[in-house]
Amino acid sequence: MSTDTRPTINAGTVPDAFDDVAETYDLMVGLSPGYHSQLRASARAVVEALPTTPGRRPRVLDLGCGSGASTRALVSALGEAGVDAEIVGVDGSAGMLRSASSKPALSGVTFAQADAEHLTSSDLGSFDGVLTAYLFRNVAARDRLIGEIREVLAPGGVLVVHDYSVGDSLTARWAWHATCWGVIVPLGMATAPQSPIYRYLWRSVLSFDGVRGFADRLWRGGLTEVETRTVSGWQAGQVHAWRARKASA
């Protein structure tokens, strides 16, 4: 009989679960090979597709910014491209936002706590680009979230979604089991032994859309120019990015 008394995590309790691991999360992802380079590639995919409006400073949203790793990737990508943009980081976890806002490298970023499924009522304004990293799996109403993002995107604005997806490939699913139980869960046990968040991560990836299915979801949500790519290296076939655009008209 199991004696594991840790709470079960679902989509509604994910922000609280991340509060519990906020102090050790940076250590955890820092130990994960390729984590930061993969985020930088997706941040560059946002920046290179940003629409430009003469005389107006672009605005970029890091939705589900967590402790700021994806935000740092955006800062770096914008700097490399020589683009002066306003960056707003939004997350549902107060603990993760405290961690992000404490980083000197992110001192120019505006952070706000908000529910991703209710962006249009959070008075954040509109954005030329949105990056979401490891967010969609943690949201039950994914179609609603796409609709909320579409509403806050300016005409011609770009969305990049960065996440795990293994539903289209049996090989990728078995590789994910190996990744999770060989790397992620052991690192999670070392950095946050009382938290079930990394076992939840394992389950959430297995239940998430396949790559093609999520691309279709973006199309159905009213976005256009949907394209996908997978990362290279040891997590090829497991981590992907989808890029889509709101129509200019």
What's the pLDDT at 4? 41
In a domain, 81, yes or no: yes
Q: Please list, in sequence order, all residues whose beta carbon lies within 8 angstroms of the beta carbon of residue 134, skipping any fewer than 6 positions away.
A: 64, 66, 162, 163, 164
Is residue 108 in some structural domain? yes
Give percent helix, percent strand, percent coil of the chain, each to the nearest 5: 50, 20, 30
Query: Could you give the CA distance from residue 153 to residue 217 in angstroms, rounded to a whole number?
Result: 17
pLDDT score of 5: 39
Domain that holds residue 94: 34-165+209-245
Query: How many domains is the chain built from?
Result: 1
State the number of CA atoms in the 13 A half-sphere of 44 facing the CB: 8
**Contact at 8 Å (CB) between 65 and 91?**
yes
Tell me how far apart the alpha carbons of residues 196 and 185 are, in angstroms, rounded to a whole number. 9
pTM for this model (two decimals): 0.91
pLDDT digits (tens, 9 = 90+) for 172-214: 999 999 999 998 888 888 888 878 888 888 999 999 999 999 9
pLDDT per position in the chain (249 positions), as tens?
333 434 454 555 677 778 877 788 888 888 788 899 999 999 999 999 999 888 889 999 999 999 999 999 999 999 999 999 999 999 999 998 999 999 999 999 999 999 888 888 778 999 999 999 999 998 989 999 999 999 999 999 999 999 999 999 999 999 999 999 998 888 888 888 878 888 888 999 999 999 999 999 999 999 999 999 999 888 999 999 999 999 997
Backbone Cα Rg of the chain = 17
Whose CA is closest to 216, among 154, 168, 174? 168
Q: Can you give the CATH number for the domain in which 89 is found?
A: 3.40.50.150
Q: Is residue 7 part of a domain?
A: no
Does 202 map to a domain? no
Give the number of other CB atoms < 10 A from CB of residue 213.
12
